Amino acid sequence: MQSEAGPGGLHAAIIMDGNGRWATQRGLPRLAGHHRGVEAIRRTAEACPDLGIGTLTLYAFSADNWQRPDDEVGGLMRLLRSYLRNETQRLARTGTRLSVVGRRDRLPRGIPEAIASAEEATASGTRLHLRICVDYSARDAIIAAAQRLQGGDATRESFGALVAGQMHGSPVDVDLVIRTGGEQRLSDFLLWEAAYAELHFTDRMWPDFGADDLAAAVAEFARRDRRFGGLKTAAVPAAA
């Protein structure tokens, strides 16, 4: 297995679910689960290069999560602000390029600027591309791309670039989608980009997720037979 995957490695995407239940099960406020979730982000990102993962996309806040109570949304936004403030240096030091994917026009004052400066400070990182999805909706991205479509000559590549661009993202296919927290659904995450992704569901709550869980998901992924609509890859005979 590669020790330095770089952006050319595997693209894993994680629906980081179960923070609220993790906290409730311990008699803690839901926000305590979100706080512990930040530590899981750090552990998971640091484990990626050794597992051959070059791009890690994390679902942190969906466009539908605005429906939650004001105090939870406010707490999550404060957490995002402090993550950007406190983690940028460490990300730059570890060769991690940070991108924030999603709408920026509904985020609280100051956060879009903090995102831009964290992205700029980490832009030269080549060890891992860490993409964090905030105010993200795959369906809204697809609708916005369709509205911008000119003429009728879209290809999968050109339309994919348009879809990604609506959310400040770049066009990237996802190899492996992991969802923690026991639910088995996509909740409007990367619907276009995950067309041929392998899916891995685990009951582990996100605050408890760590390097071993990520390694187990990657090991299971390595045993899958990805056919992309074709037939099982036959062993290629040596050239005569």
User: Interacting stretch for Mg ion, rule CB under 5 A, among 12-20, 114-122, 206-214, 231-239?
Assistant: 12-20
C-alpha span between 222 and 97 (Å, rounded): 25
Helix 30-47 and helix 70-93: axis angle, to 10°?
20
- Kindly state whether residue 213 participates in binding Mg ion, applying the rule CB under 5 A: no
Alpha-carbon Rg for the chain, nearest whole angstrom, is 18
Binding partner selected for residue 43 from ligand IPE, Mg ion, none, CB under the kind-specific 5 to 8 Å limit: none
Q: Is 17 a catalytic residue?
A: yes
State both tokens at 56. 């890690």
- Kindly state whether residue 175 participates in binding Mg ion, applying the rule CB under 5 A: no
CA-based nearest residue to 141, from 171, 184, 115:
171
CB of 209 to ligand IPE, least distance (A): 11
Distance of CA 238 to the CA centre of its chain: 39
For ligand IPE, the closer of residues 52 and 75 by Cβ is 75
CB of 187 to Mg ion, least distance (A): 8
**What residues make contact with ligand IPE under the rule CB under 6 A?**
15-21, 59-62, 65, 76, 181, 183, 185, 187
| CA–CA distances in Å: residue 18 to residues 6, 24, 162, 183, 224 | 29, 10, 31, 9, 26
Helix (H, G, I), strand (E, B) or coil at 126: coil
For ligand IPE, the closer of residues 93 and 185 by Cβ is 185
Q: Is 64 a catalytic residue?
A: no
CB of 212 to ligand IPE, least distance (A): 20
User: Interacting stretch for Mg ion, rule CB under 5 A, among 15-23, 109-117, 145-153, 161-169?
Assistant: 15-23
Helix (H, G, I), strand (E, B) or coil at 104: coil
Catalytic residue among 50, 64, 65, 135: 65
Enumerate long-range contacts of 112-119, CB under 8 Å, 24 or more apart: 114/81, 114/84, 114/85, 115/84, 117/88, 118/84, 118/87, 118/88, 118/91
For Mg ion, the closer of residues 17 and 193 by Cβ is 17
- Kindly state whether residue 17 participates in binding Mg ion, applying the rule CB under 5 A: yes
CB of 21 to ligand IPE, least distance (A): 3
CB atoms within 10 A of CB 82: 13
In the bound complex, which residue of the shown chain has the CB atom lying closest to ligand IPE?
20
For ligand IPE, the closer of residues 11 and 127 by Cβ is 11
Catalytic residue positions?
A: 17, 65
Binding site for Mg ion (CB under 5 A): 17
